[in-house]
Amino acid sequence: MGKEIQNNYLIPHVVEQTGRGERGYDIYSRLLVDRIIFLGTAIDDGVSNVVIAQMLFLQMSDPKKDIHLYINSPGGHVTSGLAVYDTMQFLTCDVNTYCIGQAASMGAVLLAGGTKGKRFSLPN
């Protein structure tokens, strides 16, 4: 298993048993298999590009299945956040948004940009 470091944090890897043996994933790739995107930092151009690419990939994979966007963000650059917001509105699949921790500034805009009736916030 390879180790990657992003922002000085170790990115965990998970191992799954498949019909062909074991398969290792970094945690973000494994979440993506279940159509989960985790936004856990301030929003800048690099972060928005990754989130947008993941959303577009999931849209192309199955435009009828929901995407689940978990947000724990203090906000960030307006133009970067609006690029993610515009992508959410462009997609034909529903985008469920979940606030875990904080969704401030542009994070709050993205939380509100989820599909009506599919926006959630944990109590703290």
Q: What is the CATH number of the domain that holds 108?
A: 3.90.226.10
pTM of the model: 0.90
Q: 8 pLDDT band (50/70/90 cuts)?
A: confident
Using only C-alpha atoms, the chain has a radius of gyration, in whole angstroms, of 15
Q: How many residues does the chain have?
A: 124
Instruction: Say if residue 17 is in the same domain as residue 62.
Output: no
**Rounded-to-5 percentages of helix, strand, coil across the chain:** 35, 35, 30
pLDDT tens digits, one per residue of 29-88: 999 999 999 999 999 999 999 999 999 999 999 999 999 999 999 999 999 999 999 999
Number of structural domains (the chain) is 2
Range of the domain at 82: 34-121
Amino acid at the residue 61 = S
Instruction: Say if residue 9 is in the same domain as residue 57.
Output: no
Whether 4 shows a pLDDT value over 70: the answer reads: no
Q: Which helix (H) or strand (E) holds 99?
A: strand 95-103
Which tokens is 90 given?
């462009």
Displacement of CA 83 from its chain's centroid (Å): 14
Residues 120 and 96 sit within 8 Å (Cβ to Cβ): yes
pLDDT at residue 7, rounded to an integer: 62
Instruction: Say if residue 63 is in the same domain as residue 114.
Output: yes
Instruction: Say if residue 105 is in the same domain as residue 45.
Output: yes
Rounded to a whole number, what is the largest CA-CA distance in the chain?
A: 45
Instruction: Say if residue 111 is in the same domain as residue 84.
Output: yes
